[in-house]
Structure 1
Amino acid sequence: MPIYVDADACPVKEEVERVGTRHKVQMFIVSNGGLRPSQNPLVDNVIVPDGPDVADMWIADRAGSGDVVITGDIPLAAKCVAAGARVLKHNGEALTEANIGNILATRDLMADIRAVDPFRQGGGKGFTKADRSRFLDALERALRATSV
């Protein structure tokens, strides 16, 4: 039951490594490069070639039932949920079969709205300490549930 991290814009890589190490779980930190590699023997730093969605495809090709995936990329999350993985966003929100359809539809709707009004400002929330705390709790619960 490895953890796969879509790492290029991930604000919780250190937290994943800390919790994953405590649970003795293999972790794959997947990026296009530019990240400081971890010396942790449980962490595989995977550098994929530049290109759109290459890291996402690497993760989607490997994630399966019981694995944990950390990503903010909704299409990647949908593929991983379909493969049976437990998916968490950086703020601790779990993406599941029950909610991924609505989240994907909302993402597509917002993309359409942005396309109509390219001058639209804002829309995103900042990452807070409360988000980090929720993430740590959610990751802990996900790892405990998969080890049962």
Structure 2
Amino acid sequence: MPEPHIYVDADACPVKDEALRVAERLGLVITYVSNGGIRPSRDPMVRVVVVPSGADAADNWIVEHAQANDIVLTADIPLASRVIDKGCHVLGFTGKPFTSASIGMALAMRNLKQHLRETGEIKGYNPGFRPADRSAFLGALDTLGRKAKMLAASLR
């Protein structure tokens, strides 16, 4: 099994720098996928993919390229569901993992909140990103990256 690869759903990602630090420390290739606005890197371990504008273009690119044991960083619950089905590890930007056991409830809550926003029952804002979220993300990604590397090594 090849080394795991980190894919970042980079539009509105608040932890790009943290993800890069962990990828560098673990020696993993990282790919930022977005609709634009990210500078290219000269580092061969850092890739930047700019997809055309359009609904789910970045998500579709990630789903097409990610493989089992890769790590996908996203806050997009439908994207998380799609790559979990491919055997990927998925981590939210606050350090919360999405797993095959938790994704069904996450999708259901997302759909319920969307319905409540559309009917005016709740406001459409999410809690702000806190320093504690950044710290939790760093620890969770480091642990997940080490786990994925060990799994890849054990299957070679």
* Number of residue equivalences: 147
State whether structure 2 residue 70 is matched by structure 1 residue 91.
no
Q: Unaligned regions of 5+ residues in structure 1, if any?
A: none
Instruction: Quote the Cα distance in structure 2 between the aligned partners of 1:139 and 1:73.
Output: 17
Report matched runs for 1:126-141 at 5 Å: 126-141=128-143
Structure 2 segments unaligned to the other structure (5+ residues): 151-156
Q: Distance in 1 between matches of 2:13 and 2:42?
A: 18
Between the aligned residues of both structures, percent identity stands at 46
CA offsets 1:55-98 (integer angstroms, 9 cap, x no match) = 00000111121100000000000001111100000000000001
Q: CA deviation at 1:39?
A: 3.0
Give the aligned CA root-mean-square deviation in angstroms: 1.2
Match 2:25 to one of 2, 22, 25: 22
The answer for the alignment partner of 1:7 in structure 2 is 10
Q: CA deviation at 1:34?
A: 1.3
Q: What is aligned with 2:73?
A: 70
- Output the CA distance in 2 between the equivalents of 1:5 and 1:38: 15
Using structure 1 for the length normalisation, give the TM-score.
0.95
**Higher relative CO (CA 8 A, sep ≥ 6), structure 1 or 2?**
2
Alignment partner of 2:90: what SS? strand
Written as runs of structure 1 = structure 2, the 5 A alignment for 1:47-66 is 47-66=50-69
1:143 equivalent to 2:137? Answer: no
Provide the C-alpha distance between the structure 2 equivalents of 1:81 and 1:41, rounded to a whole number of angstroms. Answer: 27
Instruction: State how far apart, in whole Å, the 2-side matches of 1:110 and 1:25 are.
Output: 36
The structure 1 segments of at least 4 consecutive aligned residues displaced by more than 6 Å after TM superposition are: none
